[in-house]
Amino acid sequence: MMEVKKVTVLGAGLMGHGIAQVSAQVGKYEVNLRDIKQEFIDSGMGMIKGSLQKFVSKGTISEKDMNETLGRIHSMIDLKKAVADADLVIEAVPENLELKKSVWSEVDKYAKETAVFASNTSSISITEMASATRRPEKFCGMHFFNPPQLMNLVEIVRGAKTSDETVKTVAEAAKKMGKETVICKKDAPGFIVNRVLIPALNEAIYLVHEGIADPEDIDKAIKLGLNWPMGPITLLDYLGLDTTLSITEVLQREFGDKYRACPLLRQMVRAGLLGRKTRKGFYDWEKK
């Protein structure tokens, strides 16, 4: 099993910035955080600083810990520079198969031969992404949950050719980041959590769509009735309705119409009402 000393995170957005923070803060890894535009990097670094400042204000970490964490994160646009010396490359770009394959094909050219690749995808085939590289045995899924700074689970997903050594390497890295891991033994759409969660979230949207209950009452019912820490409608706004739709469409293609997205979900995505990241989804996050 290879020891990971340096991590590269591709994508500074909703998930990428959190993965970079956890890697540097808890894992104590040197981290390269790469995105395609400086504005995306600046936004991601701003979110990391904001998150760390919240930990400081709560007394979870010290000001020194915050500064040391920020010192371990190196932001950049140059892909070759970002991956050249990485032991573990974690991809967190948007949920689009062709985009991800394009990114991995480029990464494969520049990364050292011993580097392990991991995608933070929540639904896309690990085997198909791995086929864009010359090292499918060193490729697996490493699915963090939102927000990575607070959620303890990482799903590790085997592709058709993923080696045992790769699974062990990634599991050990996740453990060093303070995460609990589960192994998805087959490359099945939705893996474990989303295979169960997405139909439940889609059904919650149908409750709104059919006028059966208001979002607030749906959230209250599920929190108190099923002991969820967060209601499904709030969770949808946190996940992003576009991301939820993407996962739903993957599940429908693979498993049939029982996973068909609610028409209201499609309508909201077309309208750009994506949740917290656009400040409006089922809830108005400007007011919240």
Residues 66 and 206 in one domain: no
Helix axes 241-255, 232-239, angle to 10 degrees: 100
> Do 141 and 167 reside in the same domain of the chain?
yes
How many Å separate Cα 132 from the centre of its chain? 20
Is 55 inside a domain boundary?
A: yes
Say whether 51 is catalytic.
Answer: no
> Crossing angle of helices 263-270/241-255, nearest 10°?
140
| Three state DSSP letters for the chain | CCCCCEEEEECCCCCHHHHHHHHHHCCCCEEEEECCCHHHHHHHHHHHHHHHHHHHHCCCCCHHHHHHHHHCEEEECCHHHHHCCCCEEEECCCCCHHHHHHHHHHHHHHCCCCCEEEECCCCCCHHHHHCCCCCHHHEEEEEECCCCCCCCEEEEEECCCCCHHHHHHHHHHHHHCCCEEEEECCCCCCCCHHHHHHHHHHHHHHHHHCCCCCHHHHHHHHHHHHCCCCCHHHHHHHHCHHHHHHHHHHHHHHHCHHHCCCHHHHHHHHCCCCEHHHCECCCECCCC
131 is catalytic: no
Burial of 282 from C-beta contacts in 10 A (0-12 / 13-18 / 19+): buried
Domain count, the chain: 2
Q: Report the interhelical angle of 38-57 vs 16-25 (nearest 10°).
A: 50
Q: Which of 30, 91, 95, 155 is catalytic?
A: 155
Q: Which of 51, 194, 202, 246 is catalytic?
A: 194
Convert the pLDDT of each residue in 76-131 to its tens digit. 999 999 999 999 999 999 988 999 999 999 999 999 999 999 999 988 999 999 99
Q: How far is CA 93 from the centre of its chain?
A: 9
CATH number at residue 25: 3.40.50.720
Query: Are 31 and 72 spatial neighbours (Cβ–Cβ below 8 Å)?
Result: yes
Going by C-alpha positions, the residue among 215, 255, 252, 222 that lies closest to residue 237 is 215
CA torsion 198→145→288→50, rounded to 10°? -160
- Looking at residue 1, its pLDDT comes to 78
Round to whole Å and give the CA distance between 127 and 188: 10
Range of the domain at 111: 6-184
**One pLDDT digit (tens) per residue for the chain, 288 residues:** 789 999 999 999 989 999 999 999 999 999 999 999 999 999 999 999 999 999 999 999 999 999 999 999 999 999 999 999 999 999 999 988 999 999 999 999 999 999 999 999 988 999 999 999 999 999 999 999 988 999 999 999 999 999 999 999 999 999 999 999 999 999 998 999 999 999 999 999 999 999 999 999 999 999 999 999 999 999 999 989 998 999 999 899 989 999 999 999 999 999 999 999 999 999 999 987
Judge whether 17 counts as a catalytic residue.
no
The CATH number of whichever domain residue 246 belongs to comes to: 1.10.1040.10
CA-CA distance, 69 to 31, in Å (whole number)?
10
Active-site pick, 23, 119, 143, 246: 143
Inside any domain, residue 98: yes
Cα separations in angstroms, 146 against 13, 150, 254: 12, 8, 24
122 in active site: yes
Q: Are residues 199 and 246 in the same domain?
A: yes
Q: Are residues 18 and 160 in the same domain?
A: yes
Please check whether residue 288 lies inside any domain of the structure: no
23, 51, 122, 123: the active-site residue: 122
Same domain, 130 and 267: no
Determine the pLDDT at residue 32. Answer: 98
